[in-house]
C-alpha cells in the first residue's frame, strides 16, 4: 500500500516534511515529479479484456498504481523538461498530450484523493469563493472585479478606509534578466483613479482596505484546523501584503485559536468545495472582525511547521494513511479478499 505524492522537482520542503511524517507513521510514499514526465519518467497504461496494468517508472523505482490507495495532489509541471529548442507547435502538442495522459492516470486511481482535481479547479475561482463564504456566514470585504473605469471610481467612494487592488490569478512578471517579480496586493492611490485606461486590456479586482490588527493563515486538513497569526503592520513594506516581507516575518508567526463559530463556517466552506485541504487567509480587525479573504486549495504551510511549530505535515500524513487503509479495506472486501 503506497501513498502517491504528485509534485515537481522544484517544490519546497513541504514534500520532505510529509514524506518523513508518513515514514514515521509506518507508511510508504512514492514521489512523482511531474516535470520529469515524459523525458525521464515512464508510464505504461495497459488495458485488455483480462487485465489492466498501470506502471510508473522513475530511475530504478517502479510503482504499480493498483497498489496506490491515496493520492496527495500537491503541484504539477508536466512536460517542463521537454527541450525548448523543439519546434514550438510540436513542443506544445507534446506537453498537451503528456498532460492529458497524466491527468487521466490520476483520475483513474481508485482511492482517497487529497484533493480531486475538479474540486481544486472549482475552488480556485476566487469570485465563487467570496460567494460561498457569504453563504456560509463568513465576513467578507467589499469587492469589485471590472474593466470599467467609471465603476471603479464609484466603488472608491464606498471604501472609507481606502482601496487595494489584487489579481484573481497568481503569476509573476519576468524582466530581461529572467528575474521573477511577483504581483502582490497594492494600494490604490487617488491619482491612480485618473489612470485606469489599461482596464480595457485587462480587468482588475479592487477591494476595500480592511484595517489589520493581525493577519491569520488557517490550514485545514480534513476536520482539523490549524491557525497562526502575524502582525504584518510591524513592518512598513508588509502593510498591504505580508508576503513582501515573508522572510523577515518567518519567526514572527504565533499559534492562534479562532472562535469556534468561525472554524465551523470555514469547515462548511471546505465541504461546499469538496476539499480536504486548504490554506485560508483572514484579517483580524482592531474591532475583532474576522474577515475572510481567500482559500488556496493547494496553499503553502511549510514555514508554520518551523514557527510556531504547527504539526501540519503530521496531520496530512495521518489523513492520507487513515483514508488509504479504509480504501484498501473496502476494495479488498468488494473483491472478496476479506
Residues 38, 43, 49, 51: what is their CA dihedral angle, to the nearest 10 degrees? -170
Tens digits of residue pLDDT in 103-123: 999 999 999 999 999 999 999
Between CA 186 and CA 22 the distance in angstroms is 40
- CB of 1 closer than 8 Å to CB of 324: yes
Cα→Cα distances 40→34, 265, 311, Å: 10, 44, 34
Q: Nearest to residue 310, comparing CAs of 221, 247, 238?
A: 221
Tens digits of residue pLDDT in 300-328: 999 999 999 999 999 999 999 999 998 87
Peptide bond into 171 cis (omega under 30): no
Residues in the chain: 338
Which pLDDT does position 200 carry in this prediction?
A: 94
Residue 209 C-alpha from the chain's centroid: 24
For each of the chain's 338 residues, which pLDDT tens digit applies? 899 999 999 999 999 999 999 999 999 999 999 999 999 999 999 999 988 999 999 998 999 999 999 999 999 999 999 999 999 999 999 999 999 999 999 999 999 999 999 999 999 999 999 999 999 999 999 999 999 999 999 999 999 999 999 888 765 555 555 555 566 889 999 999 999 999 999 999 999 999 999 999 999 999 999 999 999 998 988 888 888 888 889 999 999 999 999 999 999 999 999 999 999 999 999 999 999 999 999 999 999 999 999 999 999 999 999 999 988 777 655 555 65
Which of helix, strand or coil describes residue 48? coil
Residue 147: count of CB within 10 angstroms of its CB: 14
Instruction: Find the DSSP H helices in 281-334.
Output: 302-306, 312-334
Q: Nearest to residue 295, comparing CAs of 217, 230, 184?
A: 217
- CB of 226 closer than 8 Å to CB of 299: no
Which pLDDT does position 317 carry in this prediction?
A: 98
Between CA 114 and CA 312 the distance in angstroms is 14
Which of helix, strand or coil describes residue 297? coil
**pTM for the predicted model, two decimal places:** 0.91
Q: Nearest to residue 120, comparing CAs of 12, 273, 282?
A: 273
- Structural domains in the chain plus CATH codes: 2-115+317-334 (3.40.50), 127-139+211-296 (3.30.470.20), 142-209 (3.30.1490)
Cell triple for residue 91?
513542443
Between CA 165 and CA 263 the distance in angstroms is 27
Between CA 69 and CA 109 the distance in angstroms is 8
Residue 85: count of CB within 10 angstroms of its CB: 7
Which of helix, strand or coil describes residue 89? helix
Q: Nearest to residue 243, comparing CAs of 221, 266, 215, 220?
A: 215
Which of helix, strand or coil describes residue 37? coil
Between CA 253 and CA 214 the distance in angstroms is 10
DSSP 181-207: EE---EEEPGGGGG--GGGGTS-EEEE
Amino acid at each position: 500500500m503506497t501513498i502517491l505524492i504528485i509534485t515537481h522537482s522544484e517544490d519546497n520542503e513541504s514534500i520532505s516534511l510529509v514524506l518523513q511524517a508518513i515514514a514515521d507513521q509506518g507508511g510508504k510514499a512514492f514521489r512523482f515529479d511531474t516535470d520529469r514526465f515524459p523525458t525521464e519518467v515512464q508510464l505504461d497504461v495497459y488495458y485488455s479484456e483480462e487485465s489492466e496494468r498501470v506502471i510508473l517508472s522513475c530511475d530504478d523505482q517502479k510503482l504499480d498504481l493498483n497498489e496506490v490507495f491515496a493520492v496527495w495532489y500537491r503541484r504539477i509541471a508536466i512536460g517542463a523538461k521537454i527541450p525548448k529548442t523543439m519546434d514550438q507547435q510540436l513542443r506544445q502538442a507534446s506537453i498537451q498530450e503528456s498532460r492529458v495522459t497524466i491527468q487521466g492516470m490520476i483520475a483513474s486511481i481508485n482511492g482517497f484523493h487529497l484533493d480531486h482535481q475538479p474540486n481544486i479547479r472549482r475552488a480556485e475561482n476566487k469570485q465563487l469563493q467570496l460567494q460561498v463564504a457569504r453563504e456560509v456566514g463568513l465576513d467578507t470585504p467589499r469587492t469589485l472585479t471590472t474593466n470599467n473605469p467609471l465603476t471603479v471610481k464609484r466603488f472608491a467612494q464606498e471604501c472609507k478606509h481606502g482601496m487595494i487592488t489584487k489579481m484573481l490569478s497568481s503569476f509573476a512578471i519576468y524582466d530581461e534578466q529572467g528575474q521573477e517579480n511577483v504581483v502582490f496586493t497594492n494600494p490604490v492611490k487617488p491619482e491612480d483613479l485618473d489612470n485606469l485606461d489599461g482596464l480595457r486590456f485587462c480587468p482588475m479586482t479592487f477591494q476595500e482596505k480592511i484595517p489589520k490588527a493581525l493577519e491569520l493563515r488557517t490550514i485545514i486538513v480534513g476536520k482539523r484546523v490549524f491557525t497562526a497569526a502575524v502582525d504584518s503592520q510591524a513592518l512598513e513594506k508588509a502593510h498591504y501584503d505580508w508576503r513582501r516581507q515573508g522572510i523577515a516575518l518567518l519567526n514572527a508567526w504565533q499559534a492562534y485559536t479562532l472562535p469556534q463559530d468561525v472554524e465551523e463556517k470555514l469547515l462548511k466552506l471546505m465541504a461546499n468545495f469538496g476539499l480536504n485541504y486548504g490554506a485560508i487567509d483572514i484579517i483580524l480587525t482592531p474591532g475583532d472582525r474576522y474577515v475572510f479573504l481567500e482559500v488556496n486549495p493547494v496553499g503553502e504551510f511549510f514555514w508554520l511547521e518551523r514557527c510556531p511549530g504547527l504539526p501540519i505535515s503530521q496531520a496530512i500524513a495521518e489523513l492520507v494513511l487513515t483514508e488509504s487503509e479504509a480504501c484498501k479495506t473496502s476494495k479488498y472486501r468488494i473483491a472478496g479478499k476479506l
